[in-house]
Chains A and B, each alone.
Chain A
Amino acid sequence: MSLTKDRLVSPVLLAIACFSIAALFVIGLFIFVEGLPIMVKVGVWKFIGSTDWSPLEGKFGILAMIAGSLAVAAGTLVVAVPFGVGCAIYLSEFASKRAVTLIKPAVELLFAIPSVVYGFVGVLFIVPFVREHLGGAGHGFCILTASFVLGIRVLPVIVGISVDALQAVPKVYRDGSLALGATKWQTTTMVTLKAARSGILAGVILGMANVIGETMAVIMVIGNAVVMPNSPLDSVRTLTSNIALEMGYAEGDHRRALFATGVVLFIITMILNTLTRYVTGSRVRKKK
């Protein structure tokens, strides 16, 4: 009796698992079917190599948006990596148990705050601050502002994965280093961090993929001008904000061009995700 049930459970669970894979497949297929024809029609190189985006005149070039996404991702890393890795080192190496139980959930909670709230806080406080103190072409709506907002948003991703990576370093490494007379800080920087670096790198790349996919908060603080980024104080548009901004009104080729923007986004995120797997994979191999 229980054997037959056992036989039943496995295929049912398999079906459920297949459903999530099917969802990925269907979404991917849908984006490519809708987006690829216009890319071919415009010319793939022209589509990703031109900065002229005037969809109503039939000009579809998303280079400015690709550059915008990358600029925001880079800016975010500059903000998030020192804070994230620093926080992870403290939590894993120096903090008392009580401090960990207090700080870790708090950092994780950051990720639970909805994206739109980040955007709202950014518009109300960071945008005016940047405008008054730094100025610039974007009048506060700029890469720097977005980097700050998103830097805080991805902190939990980087902290979480980095802490895991640091804690995965065997205790004997630290003990050995300390026994040789190294201080705690020397042990951390020269031994533990080195041993955990691929894990930390994976966290950083995953955080970057998160930033590139982020939409709502970015739309609100970045100004969305379709120009190539020249300075951190410029307003730019990212791939995601291009899709979300114009989807409501787009039709025909314009709409398909937004799907094609999604194709490019899909490929970039896929590359970053694969990179994460590759980096963590190499760590596992090394350990053996």
Chain B
Amino acid sequence: MKNRVYQALLVLACVSLALGIGGGCSKRTGRQEERIRIVGSTSVFPFAEMLAEAYEETKPGVRVDVQAGGSTVGIVSVRDGICDIGTSSRELRDAEKNGVTIIEIARDGIAVIVHRSNKLDSLTKKQIRDIYAKKITNWKELGGDDASIAFVTREEGSGTRGAFDEIVMGEGTRISPSGLVQDSNGSIREAVATSPHAIGYISLALVNEKVRAIKVDGVAPTHENLAEAKYPVVRPFLFVVKGQPKGQVKEFIDFVLGPKGQEVLNKEGLLSPIVK
């Protein structure tokens, strides 16, 4: 008897599993609310979420889904039609530009951060380049303590790394492979906050009191200096759309570029795009 109950349960489980799989597929067709799917840069992600929230408030019935995967993932996904908007925190490579519209929604500074106890006030772009190329390996050479430098970088393919590479390292100089690698702004900040002799770079909007952002070429990474284009390490935050934006997607982009959207971004420490 017990055996029978067991068998019945087993069959039931199999059947419901099969139905579950089938049912899951059929559900998708009945779409009622409008959806905008955004995928891309982990740096843009927190801001895209805020924009989505603000937009959903003004437009009931529209849902904006935001996912983080990386700039490259965003660009590839939008080209493949997996999402409506791809986000990128680096300029697109030439091969990626075909058939897409690129919209700059904001600019973000990349702050060079050190441990709070580090007495150094300013570094030149060349000094930072030499640190990351492993030509300068001791803080002593820069007027600091006699301690070896732990330079922390992002993984290959990251938008922040791409922008840092382009702006600071330039052509022909590579970030040394012996640098410590962390896979997000947050974990670089954590690594630098806990290591007295570390240096790293993260999105300016994510700098907090645990670390210290130093001056680059004598210019502090403040909003004023960014707005006046004095601070040298700045990168764009981009929306990428396949073809031309239309319908709901266009309305969302207009909202982001409009006063309300920009207010959200400015409040979080990002700069409005330069109107060309």
Q: Which positions in A face B, CB cutoff 8 Å?
A: 2, 5, 8-9, 12-13, 16, 53-56, 64, 123-124, 127-128, 131, 137-141, 219-220, 223-227, 235, 237, 244-246, 248-251, 254
Contact = CB atoms under 8 A, between A and B. Distances in A.
A41 B75 CA distance: 25
A237 B72 CA distance: 22
Contact of B155 (A140, A141, A249, A251): A249
A9 B72 contact: no
A248 B42 contact: yes
Contact of A55 (B7, B69, B157, B191): B157
Contacts of A225: 177-181
A195 B259 CA distance: 78
B76 interface: yes
Contact of B14 (A12, A251, A254): A12
Nearest to A224: B181
Contact of A248 (B3, B14, B73, B177): B73
B183 to A, nearest CB: 5
Contacts of B106: none
B118 to A, nearest CB: 14
A54 B4 contact: no
Contact of B7 (A5, A53, A137): A5
A223 B181 contact: yes
Interface string B185-210: 00100110011011000000000000
A53 to B, nearest CB: 7
A13 B10 CA distance: 9
Nearest to A142: B180
A249 B194 contact: no
A124 B204 CA distance: 24
Interface of B: 3-4, 7, 10-11, 14, 42, 69-73, 75-76, 148, 150, 155-159, 174, 177-183, 187, 190-191, 194-195, 197-198
Contacts of B178: 137, 225-227, 235
A251 B70 CA distance: 11
A251 B179 CA distance: 23
Contacts of A127: 194
A149 to B, nearest CB: 16
Contacts of B190: 123
B195 A248 contact: no
Given A55-B157, A248-B73, A249-B155, A139 B181 contact: no
Contacts of A2: 3-4
A249 B180 contact: no
Nearest to B195: A139
A16 B13 CA distance: 11
Contacts of B157: 55-56, 246, 248-251, 254
A69 B36 CA distance: 42
Contacts of B156: 53-56, 246, 249-250, 254
A128 B72 CA distance: 34
A270 B189 CA distance: 38
15 contacts: A8-B11, A13-B10, A56-B156, A123-B191, A137-B148, A141-B180, A224-B181, A224-B182, A225-B177, A246-B155, A248-B69, A248-B183, A249-B155, A249-B156, A250-B156
Contacts of A56: 156-157
* Minimum-distance CB pairs A-B, first 10: A249-B157, A224-B181, A249-B70, A139-B150, A248-B70, A226-B177, A223-B180, A245-B155, A249-B72, A227-B178
A131 B197 CA distance: 10
A53 B177 contact: yes
A239 B11 CA distance: 42
Nearest to A6: B7
A56 B159 CA distance: 12
